[in-house]
Structure 1
């Protein structure tokens, strides 16, 4: 059997009598048959994920307990207790609209390429290659920043636990944090080098552990904290240390916390070729997991605000983790260490699943010849059935981007910001294509008449918060507190633009499809017919 790659959306020619081998399709399960016949990809990944493990995977991407712990500093500095609570509630609505918009697209076009692939079916053919190129690079950048920022947060948690264990007689330096981050990222790469079946088993355990920790910590804090704030303080107190005026504008920087926690919606879609019935399971997992994160996160933030004591005291903690200090103050040394280590385990689940999604994205984009040395990143290990090269090139860049902390600790916050901006815009681009070009055919999971309104609000909200996120979070602005997110974003987009003119414009035609050629066609005839179609064999 031979395989022919054709650009997606390209009309078939009568001369090209290529057909999918019916016997082979009949022997596939429904999802693999759809992948081969409708989307044109040869199934090479094993479908190991069921409903529960897919839902658990989607929940793990947010890592609610740990990611709130990592990012609570942003709303707390921006506007105090009220910013922590209301920024989550307000921004979460926009995030839910974007999550549901993503779920709708994934249901219609479930492939490992995720939303990057959907553009080939939503945009006019003459624009497909350029739009897919931009979207693919934004998505990869966002996912790298997502894993990198989570690993950096994990390193901070581990060192915070060490500091508490030594009664704060331990100085946490940036160099130490970067070193621990690199070691933790390598362990994430090793976990992702296991067969998919092992990752699926680990994922099943995650959601149970996460919910137990979240509930038990909330109860423990409410019971053990002696001097809790009252409701008036929690919901109305405004206090900013950002230097921005008016104070209401400073309040807006608190949106970063929920935007970073409730993102990477399409991670489940990148596992579409490893999920059973992905047109149903993937969108269901995305929407239900984000709803859980939104509601549980709102309640958990309220609990933290009731129990946090003096916000300036936890913000100046020697652990460099305000919530870890909150745990220590309310629950004592043992309780503080236990829940900080629990948060570390949870955020490691986040990095395991996020790196898995990133590696599948690299695999899919390389399969479409979008990346340098694409052939290397599409190789599937015969031992694990996974794209090991894609896993380790992803691991390398997740470590590399965090090395900027060695030059400027403040600059590391740009990695958190880039994650939200790049990922959310990589989702909004196909959503805009859906709204503008009218080529969308809904899958089994869709929002009906509400769809265009939800889609439009998702894009408008993303534009609004993106403007906020590229602004410096403190004034007066200096080289030390500058928001470098815009600098990094421009650098990556310039690289993508240069590489487009060097290579992409000549060879890249958007997501490709692979059809199985009947054995009766000789190699020479296949080559002639492929040439007539303007394809690559």
Structure 2
């Protein structure tokens, strides 16, 4: 028997791409994929999208939701974003309610896209199929870079916040201790290194770790919520204070729901600016998209996990907003940071809780933050892997696209993200404004990448879009336009400084416009100068010998011809 005959007899399944309801880099070309084993619907889908099944599908709806909810990390996220929300327009739940409604709209639109294109490449792959062919490569390229900026800034920003909480707790208990920038960097380095080890483990272990992280996040959030309401001791704490001596146990409705504009802009603008805190606290609902190739029944489980994360996180976060609004004593005092903690959330807790309760609440927040950082690195590594697989990076694409044969995970991609994260954290040696920019960059870069495929879905590809099993039906276009309008408004708002006129100094400047649009401009210039010659969007990594192309007359191309007597398994939708 010849080698060619042996190869043909090894074929166990034929995937006829055009028989699947899918848009992909292989569709509408009469392609049949021959593989040497039986395939299920998930593998048939990823093969039809143009990629090998390289990971074990050991995530399910619950565990992929666990990752995204852990990335959401509501308790540490809310703690980290007090400066960007409550200290902008007050503790009122109104900004959270309005922002979350629009964020859910964006999540619904993205979930519909994820169902149609369940690959770890995420939104850029969708852009490559939905954008006009003439501009699809450059739009895919820019979407990749925007999403990658979101991913690589996520882990360092979370871990920097977690390290800051640890030092704030130490300072609270030992006021003489004041951490140096070098100590903050070293602690963040240690946290990120441990995350790198965890994110390099096999998928089944990653799924278990993130399940524990989600349980911890939900449990600790509930405990701290109860502590804030039931353990509220603000009447005792401020009993001898001449300003707040007659304070009630809870704020009245007008104080709790009222807006307190602390910026130099009109209140409406201040509210929009405060959405940054909500956006950052709610970021992470896209994580299931990037775990599509490790999830069973991905076309349904992934979009459901996206929606569950956005809706569940929004509702749970709202309850926490209620608790803060009705218990906070003085936002001005929090902004002054009289204890020198550098963490507004800890200062807020000191207004309402006794010392032991504060230690417990902040400790639980730190633990939740740790799990959140690990989940961020896990999701980000899959993004780096998928973009490396498409050849996006000029220096490390081959390395980033390598799957470790022992763990069957993209270990090199994990450590590439680790190194880049540590380089970004060098911004802390500049000033607080510079390191703070990575918070807002994560918001704007994520939003741009989330909404780009939606723009093309409701315009150019409206009549050709092949939706997956999860879809919005007749509401797809209206929800899409609402999402687009929200993001269009928020992009410039996220770049606004919080002061103006003579108060606007280099230290008070919002450097998001430089930290985000600078790299994006460089990415566009690089594409125009060089990358356009070789980057055409996602590219298949299937072996050419496994593909059979039909000629225009419907006769299979002989060079890839598979024997008629080979058993054929036709993948259906």
TM-score higher than 0.5: yes
Residue 249 of structure 1 and its aligned partner are, at CA, apart by 2.6
The reply on whether 1:56 has 2:83 as its aligned counterpart is no
The reply on whether 1:20 has 2:47 as its aligned counterpart is no
CA distance in 2, matches of 1:498, 1:519: 37
Residue 294 of structure 1 and its aligned partner are, at CA, apart by 0.5
In structure 2, the partner of 1:500 is 527
In structure 1, the partner of 2:401 is 378
Match of 1:203 among 186, 189, 210: 210
In structure 2, the partner of 1:101 is 109
In structure 2, the partner of 1:146 is 154
The reply on whether 1:349 has 2:371 as its aligned counterpart is yes
Match of 1:178 among 172, 185, 196: 185
The reply on whether 1:9 has 2:25 as its aligned counterpart is yes
Match of 2:389 among 357, 367, 384: 367
The reply on whether 1:70 has 2:80 as its aligned counterpart is yes
Residue 497 of structure 1 and its aligned partner are, at CA, apart by 1.8
- Contact 2:35 2:546 (C-alpha < 8 Å) held by counterparts: no
Residue 467 of structure 1 and its aligned partner are, at CA, apart by 1.4
In structure 1, the partner of 2:243 is none
- Structure 2 counterpart SS, 1:265: coil
In structure 2, the partner of 1:218 is 225
Map 1:183-194 → 2, pairs under 5 A: 183-194=190-201
Question: Normalised by the size of structure 1, how large is the TM-score?
Answer: 0.90
In structure 2, the partner of 1:533 is none
Map 1:113-512 → 2, pairs under 5 A: 113-166=121-174, 168-226=175-233, 227=235, 228-242=249-263, 244-317=264-337, 318-373=340-395, 374-437=397-460, 438=462, 439-475=464-500, 476-512=503-539
**Structure 2: 5+ residue stretches without partners:** 1-6, 9-22, 236-248, 549-556, 561-573
Residue 59 of structure 1 and its aligned partner are, at CA, apart by 1.0
Cα deviations by residue, 1:66-100 (Å, 9 ceiling, x for unpaired): 10010022222212223xx1110111111000011
Residue 157 of structure 1 and its aligned partner are, at CA, apart by 1.0
The structure-2 alpha-carbon separation of the partners of 1:528 and 1:362, relative to structure 1 and needing over 3 Å to count, comes to farther
In structure 2, the partner of 1:532 is none
Residue 50 of structure 1 and its aligned partner are, at CA, apart by 1.6
- Structure 2 counterpart SS, 1:160: helix
The structure-2 alpha-carbon separation of the partners of 1:442 and 1:520, relative to structure 1 and needing over 3 Å to count, comes to closer
Q: Which moved more, 1:204-213 or 1:135-144?
A: 204-213
The structure-2 alpha-carbon separation of the partners of 1:304 and 1:12, relative to structure 1 and needing over 3 Å to count, comes to closer
- Contact 1:8 1:512 (C-alpha < 8 Å) held by counterparts: no
Residue 366 of structure 1 and its aligned partner are, at CA, apart by 1.0
Residue 499 of structure 1 and its aligned partner are, at CA, apart by 2.2
In structure 2, the partner of 1:534 is none
CA distance in 2, matches of 1:10, 1:107: 18
Residue 458 of structure 1 and its aligned partner are, at CA, apart by 0.7
Q: What RMSD, in angstroms, separates the aligned Cα atoms of the two structures?
A: 2.4
CA distance in 1, matches of 2:98, 2:32: 51
Residue 12 of structure 1 and its aligned partner are, at CA, apart by 6.8
Residue 527 of structure 1 and its aligned partner are, at CA, apart by 13
Residue 8 of structure 1 and its aligned partner are, at CA, apart by 5.5
In structure 2, the partner of 1:535 is none
Residue 197 of structure 1 and its aligned partner are, at CA, apart by 1.3
CA distance in 2, matches of 1:86, 1:175: 39
Match of 1:32 among 30, 34, 43: 43
- Structure 2 counterpart SS, 1:21: strand
Count how many residue pairs are aligned between Structure 1 and Structure 2: 512
In structure 1, the partner of 2:566 is none
**Structure 1: 5+ residue stretches without partners:** 530-537
CA distance in 1, matches of 2:321, 2:135: 44
CA distance in 1, matches of 2:559, 2:468: 36
Q: Which structure would you say has the larger Rg?
A: 2
The structure-2 alpha-carbon separation of the partners of 1:222 and 1:124, relative to structure 1 and needing over 3 Å to count, comes to same
The structure-2 alpha-carbon separation of the partners of 1:219 and 1:519, relative to structure 1 and needing over 3 Å to count, comes to closer
